[in-house]
Amino acid sequence: MRSSFFTDDHEAFRSMVRDFVDREIAPYVEQWERAGLIEPKLQSKAGRLGLLGLAVPEEYGGGGTDDYRFRCVLMEELARAGAAAVNVALGGFDDLIGPYLTDLGTDRQKQDWLPGLCTGELRTAIAMTEPETGSDLRGIRTTAVRTDDGWILNGSKTFITSGAQADLVVTFARTGEAEFSLFLLEKGTPGFTRGRRLDKLGQRGEDVSELFFDDVRLPHDSLLGTEGAGLRHLMERLPKERLFIAYYGLAAAEAALEWTLTYTKERRAFGRPVADFQNTRFTLAELSTEIDVTRAYLERCVLAVNEGTLSAVDAAKAKWWATELQKRVIDRCLQLHGGYGYMREYPIARAYADARVTTVYGGTTEIMKEIVGRHLVRP
């Protein structure tokens, strides 16, 4: 069906992004996966092309556009290359951390951090999850206690994406019995140490680490946003993070279907192409239909983000549905690859491992359903 979702400007941007992905990313994905680390210089290469900080105001070195469709183009091209870890590395700033600095930061905080983050010279992370608290953010134990000179931070975090490399960590901490706040924590601050880099099932090129805070002294101006409003600050920005995860899930499913169409047309069994079997055609038809229907909803969500009207409930619907679709599509596509689908030299195998975490991070499927269900019965 014809779609007016992307304009000529988006397609021109796609041409530039595709060239960059084909030249700087696609040939090295498997190498980075084996090494457990994406080439650090990739961030600055992306920054020089203007692929980072698309929504950051131009005065702070960003692209100055609120049109989320440009981010969608980048995700689609990364998914086409099977570069899920790179998507998290590059998109983490734009969709996970950037909005906190852009929306909540003082002018001084923005001037200090946003230009370097937009050029890719600096890396950032957000630290919410703790060893005993995943989706239950109210249960965190990390504390920040006010002093005459600022704050003293104690506690630990785990599963922190880019934690080992981040120059700046946006840290969520308890500042009262039922109050939470956000803080900017710089690398090298005394008492701030990084633990082991965790050995993940998929998305192995992007580091996920443990962080520890032992009497870390922070100045007063390290507070990000309003004291005591940390949980509200998170809730206001989580819809965009969840759309980021959902849209890449859709893009990954579309890429998997394209790989599988090519493979089943070329692969022969019992004297004819695998695509000639009715079971193959029925499976492909089902997956194509599910993807198209999902795209229609996600495109509405993207346009809602552009208008500033995407609700937490609609984002939760998008997140759980698209990521479950991603898992389901990739699993069935792997089956159509037969034994070769289990070999990591084929992108479908890596995509299978990469997809498993998407129904967990950013809020589990169960939490997303709870958000939607609670809204339905107690609007």
Residues that are catalytic: 241
Query: In this structure, are strands 180-186 and 223-224 parallel, antiparallel, or unpaired?
Result: antiparallel
Q: What CA–CA distance (Å, rounded) separates 217 from 150? A: 7
120 Ramachandran zone, left/alpha/beta (phi>0; psi -120 to 50): left
* Residue owning tokens 């049109």: 67
**Tokens encoding 88:** 């998290």
Long-range contacts of 68-71 (CB under 8 A, 24+ apart): 68/243, 68/302, 68/305, 68/306, 69/5, 69/6, 69/7, 69/10, 69/302, 69/306, 70/10, 70/13, 71/95, 71/244, 71/247
94, 243 in Cβ contact below 8 A?
no
Handedness of CA 226, 231, 233, 236 (dihedral sign): negative
CA dist 331 → 97, 138, 257, 379 (Å): 31, 35, 11, 36
DSSP H helical ranges for 49-169: 69-80, 84-91, 98-104, 107-119
Angle at 336 between CA 335 and CA 342, to 5 degrees: 50
* Residue owning tokens 């595709």: 18
